Structure 1
Amino acid sequence: MNHMEKARALRARTDVHFNCCQSVLAAFAEDMGLTEEQAYNLGANFGSGMRCGAVCGALTGALMVLGMTNYPPEQADALRKKFLADHGEINCAALLKKSHEAGIPRKEHCDGLVFEMVEALD
């Protein structure tokens, strides 16, 4: 199963909720030398923008993956800047507000950001 297939499978589960950060991290767990359980635990408190509407969990997870796979800081900066340019925000609360105003359901919005970050990392 490739990274995107893993992320899609996690986001499709209805028996348990994986936050955005966990979904990105778990998709790349093997690449980072982690078990999926370690990836879930690592990302547990980074969903919903660090549980307080701060930086998007999908972006946070992607930045963690870059760090754990030894990419230079410049690539992390480029990813963050592209995210900001594409969405006009990096904070979860602001992103959710914009998607709500656009009539996009929360799950659809968050899934889209997770898949976007997984694709960017691939």
Structure 2
Amino acid sequence: MSKHLDIAKEERTNGPANCCQAVILAYADEIGLSREQAMKLGSNFGAGMKCGSVCGAITGGLMVTGMLGKDGNEFRKAMKDSHGGFIDCKDLLKASAEKGEDKKTHCDGLIFDAVKLIED
């Protein structure tokens, strides 16, 4: 497992991090953010900007890819393609619920997918 994935898993298991914060925290050292800055930056992007809009893991991934100088459009497209064509939290959660998957497992999976895509 990668150090980034380890950090994201730790944050989701033991921390108060939302989806966006977990992705940002996984890369905080590389992008020059302290833990406090990463938590503040991502605080309003969990649960799809707190209104079911774009998934927090995707938003966090876009922030990180931008800071790393990578193509955010490729990242967004890859996330959309691998998740039923959806990027909005409400749509992703609905599709997941229809499959019988619980929310935490679903959200953790999106976070881990985002971290892995950024690494690739």
Where on the TM-score scale, by shorter chain, does this alignment land: which range? over 0.9
Q: List alignment gaps of at least 5 residues for structure 1.
A: none
Which residue matches 1:35? 34
Q: Deviation digits for residues 25-47 of structure 1, max 9, x if unmatched?
A: 01100111010110010000000
**RMSD after superposition:** 1.1
For residues 93 and 55 of structure 1, the distance between their equivalents in structure 2, rounded to whole angstroms, comes to 8
TM-score with structure 2 length normalisation? Answer: 0.93
TM-fit CA distance, 1:20: 0.2
TM-fit CA distance, 1:85: 1.3
TM-fit CA distance, 1:67: 1.0
Q: Deviation digits for residues 38-60 of structure 1, max 9, x if unmatched?
A: 00100000000000000000010
For residues 82 and 116 of structure 2, the distance between their equivalents in structure 1, rounded to whole angstroms, comes to 14
SS of equivalent residue, structure 2 residue 17: coil
For residues 80 and 3 of structure 2, the distance between their equivalents in structure 1, rounded to whole angstroms, comes to 26
Which residue matches 2:87? 90
Q: Deviation digits for residues 55-75 of structure 1, max 9, x if unmatched?
A: 00001000000111222xxx2
Identity %: 47
For residues 92 and 16 of structure 2, the distance between their equivalents in structure 1, rounded to whole angstroms, comes to 20
TM-fit CA distance, 1:18: 1.1
Describe how 1:45-60 pairs up with structure 2 within 5 A. 45-60=44-59
AA aligned opposite 1:6: I
SS of equivalent residue, structure 1 residue 21: helix
TM-score with structure 1 length normalisation? Answer: 0.92
